[in-house]
Structure 1
Amino acid sequence: MACEKLHSELPGKVTLPSDENYDNRANAYHFLSARQRPQCIVSPSSAEDVSVALKVLRGFPDISFAIKSGGHSPHPDVANTNNGVVINLEGLDSIARSSDREDVYELGAGVTWGKVYEVLSKEKRSASGSRECTVGVGGFVTGGGLTYFSPERGFACDDVVNMQVVLASGDIVETNKTTNADLFRALKGSRSNVGIVTRVDIITHARDNIWGGAIMYPATTEDAQLEAFWDFKSSGIYDPHAQVEVSFIYSAAMGCSFVSNNHWYGQHIENPPTFKRFQDIKDQMTNTMRLETIDVFAKELSKYGPKDQHAVYVTTTFTLTPTIMKKINSLWNATSATLSTTQNILSVITYQQCPPPPPADAPNAMGFPATSKPHESLIIFIASLYWDLAADSDFVRQTSRDLMDKIEEATKAEGAFHLFKYMNYAAPWQNVLESYGNEAHDALKDVSAKYDPEGLFQRQALGFKL
């Protein structure tokens, strides 16, 4: 009944399973594990259409709905569903310079970062967006957003100056640090808990080529990699332009493990000395370090990244110590051996620094006070696993969960555990919103009660809930 009502209220914008283009739309997700069979797919072309959809769904309290911007999450029942409705925001794909500020661009929530970078690169500008071009703006920003410029500018949401959002009532409102400021804060890190963001107004900055790329090494360099990363983070000199992702990878297809590091320096500086410790590690298999645009780097990561497989992400955060990464790697190596018979398994763990906190006058939802220094010592960790067969999914997901339990036991034993979970890397079973701390979690509950008193988003919207 809900889909029939939506079809009546939004003619030409609702796709039913009987429609010819249903399969293409239902399967338009990056990973196989996120491809489900919703009762119908709503494709709004405006915030007003989103408002109509929410007003209809309020009348069907037993119908769940998912919100899709880019469809990059690997998890089922996040941006898709088998038993409800998908609100597909890809039609909200506008990119326009703000009439109020030349450095601000207004982005539709359904546009991908690749399209944004293509526009900005022509102006020799960039923005705090995804490091992959196929990721959608809305889900990325409302999940926080780790970017090429995070060591300097924080999470992507910290560069947002305004959001247009459709509330549970159907009202369309603007949110910023002076208008609906509590809602604005809540949207920066809570995804679909208080409304549907339809437009993001984000600061852009003059930026041409930056130094970046990837270096691949054999697995025998593991100890050298861990030592280099420890030196990079413990030098006592924080470089706000330098970013390193250290990844350890087991590939069943290749029959071996190896190391792949992504480095980016957010300035037009060739061979910055801060990366020398990694450059000096020998036996490099490939090295693509060079000066290039963000547009090209994002396309490169998307080209070589996994897709069209089943996948799971799971995350944790910890304080870096001289020994904790070695312990984590040992746990991961044992897990990869357990998974080695899974068809075409790709097992990856990645270490990267946490961004700095937002300023006091523009907080986000994630609970880091402006006076804190998470960028100096905290590491955001992700284990990402990819495989071919749906029949292996329960085994791989449980194995990833067991691995994370062991990793967090190790970080707690070393006094390095931190509660924070980065939403865009988190597994469905992880308590992301509680990980922001009691004060931040309570603030989100207050905002939910104020702007959604009947609990539409808590009751019906899929994803991490309060």
Structure 2
Amino acid sequence: MRLLTRSLLSISALATLAQCAPDVSLDVDVDVSLSTAHLDCCASLVAAGLGDRVVYPNDTNYIPLVDVHWSWVARLEPSCFVLPENAAEVSKVVTTLVGDNRYEKCQFAVRSGGHTLYAGAANIVNGVTVDLSKINAVTYHPENKTVSIYPGARWGKVYSTLDALGVNVAGGRAASVGTAGLMLGGGNSFYSARAGFVCDNVVNYEVVLANGRLIQANNKTNSDLFQALKGGSMNFGIVTRFDLMTLEGADLWGGVVTYPNSTADQQIDAIINFGNNIVNDQYGSAITIFLSASVSNTTTVVNAYDYTKPVVRPAAYNDFLAIPGNTSDSMRITNMTDLTIELEQAPGFRDTWLTGTFKPTKGWMQLALQQQAIMFDLLWEARPHGNFTVQTLFQPIPTIFSKHSVEKGGNVLGLDRFTDNLMLYQLYFAWHGEDQDDLFNGKGHDAFNTVVDYTKKHNLYTEFEYLDYADISQNPLKGYGSANVKKIKTVAKKYDPTGVFQTLVPGGFKISKVA
């Protein structure tokens, strides 16, 4: 079964690593003038010996590279692409574009998988897009039970490699998602209740800094950078390799069960109880989706259950399984490759998602569904051209997630400061036609803000916004809390003292933008 939802993708491949090097403070906005210098930037890459890695708009493989992006919103056309094939070439790209002898400034973005929805996150107009897709190896090391994942790999390749070896890793939940963006934004996975966030399982990063140096970051070497990379996004350098601890066993019980929307109240009760009790069985994961589709003018409940042991119908899911009247059921013993293919959706829409994380109560969750219904009806009445969907997703974020994070040395997400189990809320909508952007985004923000206002009024709100699901209008780094904001700023200034990753990157979440 292929879901109509893309929102399960725990990734947002937020790979906007862009560099150029004015000598500025992180706290200063810099006006960057480009004129026609972006063309010189492409030519400089050719002159540096990277000519066979550069793709211009008149080359036959240019449009396929533009179309890599999952959302049509993100399909920008850069001045050129450059596709390095190893870390040394990434270093050469950086030093070429950020060289002290440049008389004009170069802008560029860096792309892993291209699954972030908004324009400019991993692509650029009037600049260079560094595409890491050729640096895509996945190598298992049995001597220490780690796996090296290179940034151009997608999670489907990771799982197919490891499934054959009988091991697994905490990672993305859809096969086509890029690896780098997911991990740099924290990363939620089927394994979070037993292993923490995906970033918590990284034991070493290989990083190209703004000056072209290639360094390692782990708990012994560059340990401050090591921790800051665990959720700190594209503020420090280009990660060219992630080394992660693996988990024993490849098989698990999982799949998708669908229900009519008439079961909504029971579904809310079940997902709240699941989140509150998963500490007692840390092998479980559940996501509840309410999907309204114009093609059928109906709303369907889509539940993704994934238990990370090969046990059929474990007790952790009793509340869900007791709900009568399901309309489909694909639950089976299988592997991550199979499950993450099931949670795929074909590209081709314009998309937005918005996210918040609140204390779980039936009140705001029912309100979220009411707002979804109102939004869908208003859009239906507007008679937009093409099919569209509106979806609400609920994912538990219990305290056991951050407890594991702390046990593994900590990250910068800041969830360990909360003492209550939380619920992640995501509003996702997809449509056709750039001419309809304002219509859909306007209705979507109205619905989302109504829910946020309710949680603030009833003391249920937290400022945490999961970066991998955040819209460009949001401020997820600020939601990490003041202590972590200060930590990220300090690390960014230390490893990128000239502000390369802050001042010449037109998109992505920049720590310099956080007050």
Shorter-chain TM range is over 0.9
CA deviations on 1:239-278 (whole Å, 9 max, x unpaired) are 2111110111110011111110111111121110121211
Rate the CA distance shift 1:316–1:428 in 2: closer, same or farther, 3 A: same
Q: 2:298 aligns with which of 238, 251, 256?
A: 256
Within 5 Å, which residues of 2 pair with 1:316-395? 316-340=356-380, 341-342=383-384, 343-354=386-397, 356-357=401-402, 358-359=405-406, 362-369=409-416, 377-395=421-439
Rate the CA distance shift 1:35–1:237 in 2: closer, same or farther, 3 A: closer
| Cα separation, 2, equivalents of 1:307 and 1:218 | 26
On the 8 A contact 1:225/1:278 being kept in 2, the answer is yes
- SS of residue matched to 1:323: helix
- The count of residues paired between Structure 1 and Structure 2 equals 460
More displaced stretch, 423-432 vs 400-409? 400-409
Match of 2:127 in 1: 84
- SS of residue matched to 2:459: coil
**Is 1:53 the counterpart of 2:96 in the alignment?**
no
CA deviations on 1:35-57 (whole Å, 9 max, x unpaired) are 11011111010111111111122
Instruction: Give RMSD over aligned pairs.
Output: 1.7
Match of 1:184 in 2: 226
Q: 2:326 aligns with which of 284, 287, 296?
A: 284
Match of 1:454 in 2: 498
| Cα separation, 2, equivalents of 1:394 and 1:198 | 37
| Cα separation, 1, equivalents of 2:109 and 2:367 | 38
On the 8 A contact 1:106/1:202 being kept in 2, the answer is yes
Q: 1:17 aligns with which of 33, 42, 57?
A: 57
Rate the CA distance shift 1:235–1:25 in 2: closer, same or farther, 3 A: closer
Q: 1:169 aligns with which of 208, 211, 229?
A: 211
Aligned-residue offset at 1:361: 5.5
Within 5 Å, which residues of 2 pair with 1:285-304? 285-302=327-344
| Cα separation, 2, equivalents of 1:361 and 1:384 | 32
CA deviations on 1:197-226 (whole Å, 9 max, x unpaired) are 010001111123211111111111111211
Which letter maps to 1:73? T
| Cα separation, 2, equivalents of 1:111 and 1:363 | 25
Which letter maps to 2:183? V
Length-normalised TM-score, structure 2:
0.86
Q: 1:427 aligns with which of 471, 475, 496?
A: 471
Match of 1:126 in 2: 168
| Cα separation, 1, equivalents of 2:414 and 2:322 | 38
| Cα separation, 2, equivalents of 1:130 and 1:330 | 30
Length-normalised TM-score, structure 1:
0.95
Match of 1:41 in 2: 81
On the 8 A contact 1:129/1:156 being kept in 2, the answer is yes
Q: 1:153 aligns with which of 173, 190, 195?
A: 195
- SS of residue matched to 1:12: helix
Match of 1:222 in 2: 264
| Cα separation, 2, equivalents of 1:238 and 1:62 | 55
On the 8 A contact 2:254/2:306 being kept in 1, the answer is yes
- SS of residue matched to 1:177: coil
**Is 1:116 the counterpart of 2:158 in the alignment?**
yes
| Cα separation, 2, equivalents of 1:38 and 1:408 | 36
Aligned-residue offset at 1:313: 1.4
More displaced stretch, 151-160 vs 339-348? 339-348
**Is 1:463 the counterpart of 2:508 in the alignment?**
yes
Aligned-residue offset at 1:373: 6.0
| Cα separation, 1, equivalents of 2:82 and 2:480 | 32
- Structure 1 gaps of 5+ residues are none
- SS of residue matched to 1:359: helix
Rate the CA distance shift 1:148–1:445 in 2: closer, same or farther, 3 A: same
Match of 1:3 in 2: 42
On the 8 A contact 2:356/2:425 being kept in 1, the answer is yes
| Cα separation, 1, equivalents of 2:364 and 2:441 | 24
Aligned-residue offset at 1:390: 1.7
Which letter maps to 1:6? L
On the 8 A contact 2:364/2:451 being kept in 1, the answer is no
Which letter maps to 1:440? N
- Structure 2 gaps of 5+ residues are 1-39
Within 5 Å, which residues of 2 pair with 1:224-243? 224-235=266-277, 238-243=280-285
Which letter maps to 2:46? H
On the 8 A contact 1:118/1:295 being kept in 2, the answer is yes
Higher relative contact order (CA 8 A, sep 6+): 2
CA deviations on 1:260-314 (whole Å, 9 max, x unpaired) are 0111111121110121211121221111111111110011111xx2521111111
CA deviations on 1:365-398 (whole Å, 9 max, x unpaired) are 21233xx566x61111111111121211222123
On the 8 A contact 1:177/1:361 being kept in 2, the answer is no
- SS of residue matched to 2:133: helix
**Is 1:67 the counterpart of 2:118 in the alignment?**
no
On the 8 A contact 2:44/2:97 being kept in 1, the answer is no
Match of 2:5 in 1: none
Match of 2:22 in 1: none
Which letter maps to 2:342? E
- SS of residue matched to 1:90: coil
Aligned-residue offset at 1:153: 0.9
Rate the CA distance shift 1:232–1:174 in 2: closer, same or farther, 3 A: same
| Cα separation, 2, equivalents of 1:120 and 1:373 | 34
Match of 2:235 in 1: 193
| Cα separation, 2, equivalents of 1:231 and 1:380 | 14
On the 8 A contact 2:357/2:425 being kept in 1, the answer is yes
- SS of residue matched to 1:139: helix
Aligned-residue offset at 1:427: 0.0
Match of 2:7 in 1: none
On the 8 A contact 2:368/2:392 being kept in 1, the answer is no
Which letter maps to 1:70? G
